[in-house]
């Protein structure tokens, strides 16, 4: 997974580590907490308690609800099956869909902006636009549900 870690807020760092852990889980079937520990190990500074707890909540939440999240992504992405998406893109989407649908404490606009930045940083040139297109539709459907 390419990309550099930027000096950013606690939650942004937590999302980066959560993405890295989800990627590792997807790639090698690593245990979620072990994958997260590996992701934090690559940091220059240890996480603060809030950041560590938030990253763990994201990873555990995505893992616990992955089938439901993947169904929602596939229903929205019409021509793309989740397993055919680039690993970075599908894990950015999983992370954001979890936050939008099952952990709605973060405003949708923040979730979308963070996901697009993660996709641009860690994914391909097209990742930002791909993630944005799918998440815009999901965010709109979530706002109609509430």
- Over the stretch 47-105, which tens digit does the pLDDT of each residue have? 889 999 999 999 999 999 999 999 999 999 988 889 999 999 999 999 999 999 998 88
Query: pLDDT of 19-59, one tens digit each?
Result: 999 999 999 999 999 999 999 998 878 888 999 999 999 99
- All domains of the chain, ordered by start, with CATH? 10-145 (1.10.940.10)
pTM for the predicted model, two decimal places: 0.91
Max Cα distance, the chain (Å): 42
List C-alpha distances in Å: 29 to 22, 23, 63.
9, 9, 11
pLDDT at residue 124 in the model: 95
Rounded Cα distance between 38 and 8, Å, is 19
Strands, E, within the chain: which ranges? Answer: none
């Amino acid at each position: 997974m390419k990309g550099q870690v930027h000096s950013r807020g606690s939650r942004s760092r937590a999302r980066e580590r959560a993405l890295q852990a989800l990627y590792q889980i997807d790639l090698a079937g690593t245990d979620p907490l072990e994958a997260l520990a590996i992701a934090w190990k690559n940091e220059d500074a240890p996480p603060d308690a809030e950041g560590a707890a938030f990253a763990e909540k994201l990873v555990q939440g995505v893992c616990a609800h992955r089938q439901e999240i993947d169904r929602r992504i596939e229903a929205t992405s019409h021509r793309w099956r989740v397993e055919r998406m680039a690993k970075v893109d599908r894990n950015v989407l999983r992370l954001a869909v979890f936050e939008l649908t099952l952990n709605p404490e973060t405003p949708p606009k923040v979730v979308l902006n963070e996901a697009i930045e993660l996709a641009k940083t860690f994914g391909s040139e097209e990742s930002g636009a791909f993630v944005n297109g799918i998440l815009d539709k999901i965010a709109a459907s979530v706002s109609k549900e509430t």
